[in-house]
Structure 1
Amino acid sequence: MNWVAWAIVACEVLFWVVVLAGFSARYLFKRRKLGLFFLALTPVLDIILLIIAGVDLYNGAAATTAHALAAIYISVSIVFGKSMIHWADERFRYYVTKLGPAPVKRYGLDHARHSFKGWVKHVLSFLLGGGILYGLIIWIDDPARTDALLSIVSLWSVVVGIDLIIASSYFIWPRKAKG
């Protein structure tokens, strides 16, 4: 595994570390500003990853799947970041501090709509990440060095299509409450 791949792993781990540190500061230690500081570090991790991948490519490295995953990671973080933090916040408050209401369980049309909104976010993430990848392909201007980036865009478009089928299926076969 190359160093860009390790940077992605490190950024993902650090993302959840700073999120948990933010929630702990906010709810367990009643330090709201410190909690906000930690949560504000999440986009900084994206910038660091972008710099790492960009410097590696600038220095002549052939674009690898790890570089493509860095673009995906950044776009997913930008598009889904707020909702991921909200999702984690809701669960932290309920399961760790016992202060908040139980996380919402969605069924029927509500679940289908929520899933479809998630698919729309996936498309936005794909457009942003695909734009980053195509920008890198144009910037590097060497098909031999960017083949991995193009293949990831192709694979990701298939994944977006599968996600659409799954999201649409909830309108046809809605999720039912257990029991």
Structure 2
Amino acid sequence: MLITVIAGCEIGFWVVLAAGLAARYPLRMRRTGAVLLLCVPLLDLVLLAATAADLRNGATAGVGHGLAAAYLGYSVAFGHSMVRWADERFAHRFAGGPPPRGRPEHGWARTRYEWREFGKAAVATAVACALLLAMIGLVGDAGRTEALHGWLGRLGVVLAIWSLWPITHTIWPSKPKGAADDARPE
């Protein structure tokens, strides 16, 4: 049941986001678009309430509860940048806005970008772990929350793997193709 709520919230995120951006740009209803975009975080509250209610009603924590915490953590950390990403593309396509920014391709700008994204992932992991610990405390029964303890480790592994990108970009910053060829002795 909780997996269905998670899927519904993810679908709802994209539907509400598309509706808000459509109202904002093609339909030129800026206030309506702004209100719809402000409703995007309400879907996270729906998921949080559904997860808490399920646990308070005696459910044994499972994959769905851990996934809900991870989803909420990543939604909190990356939600704003995802909305901004979509907004830039809609503004360019429907309102004559500037071309969307892409991620930097080379050098220290790319390294800073990778560290910034890793920072968001660290925030997401912290929020998800805090929610998992809150669920464990809410239930108060180690037998019913055993599965949630495993999610703490999984989230740590994901963050450790994610750290490889900024670390490698720090040690070996990428260079434009022409710059690498110019640096070779002949």
Same fold by TM-score greater than 0.5: yes
The aligned residue for residue 20 of structure 2 is: 22
| Backbone CA RMSD of aligned residues | 1.6
1:104 equivalent among 79, 83, 101: 101
Q: How does 1:57-68 map to 2 (within 5 A)?
A: 57-68=55-66
Question: Normalising to structure 1: TM-score of the pair?
Answer: 0.92
The amino acid across from 2:94 in the alignment is: T
Give the distance between the partners of 1:166 and 1:49, measured in 2 at CA. Answer: 31
CA deviation vs aligned residue, 1:49-91 (integer Å, no higher than 9, x gap): 1111111111111111111111111122122211111011112
The aligned residue for residue 118 of structure 1 is: 117
Q: 1:101 to 1:173 in 2, by over 3 A?
A: farther
The aligned length equals 176
Which ranges of structure 1 fall in alignment gaps of 5 or more residues?
A: none
How much has 1:34 moved relative to structure 2? 0.5
The aligned residue for residue 90 of structure 1 is: 88
How much has 1:98 moved relative to structure 2? 6.3
Which ranges of structure 2 fall in alignment gaps of 5 or more residues?
A: 179-186
The amino acid across from 1:129 in the alignment is: A
Does residue 162 in structure 1 map to residue 173 in structure 2?
Answer: no
SS at match of 1:97: helix
The amino acid across from 1:37 in the alignment is: V
How much has 1:103 moved relative to structure 2? 2.2
Give the distance between the partners of 1:76 and 1:144, measured in 2 at CA. Answer: 27
The amino acid across from 1:70 in the alignment is: A
SS at match of 2:162: helix
The amino acid across from 1:64 in the alignment is: G
The aligned residue for residue 42 of structure 1 is: 40
Question: Normalising to structure 2: TM-score of the pair?
Answer: 0.88
Pick the structure with greater CA Rg. 2
CA deviation vs aligned residue, 1:146-172 (integer Å, no higher than 9, x gap): 121111110110110111112211122
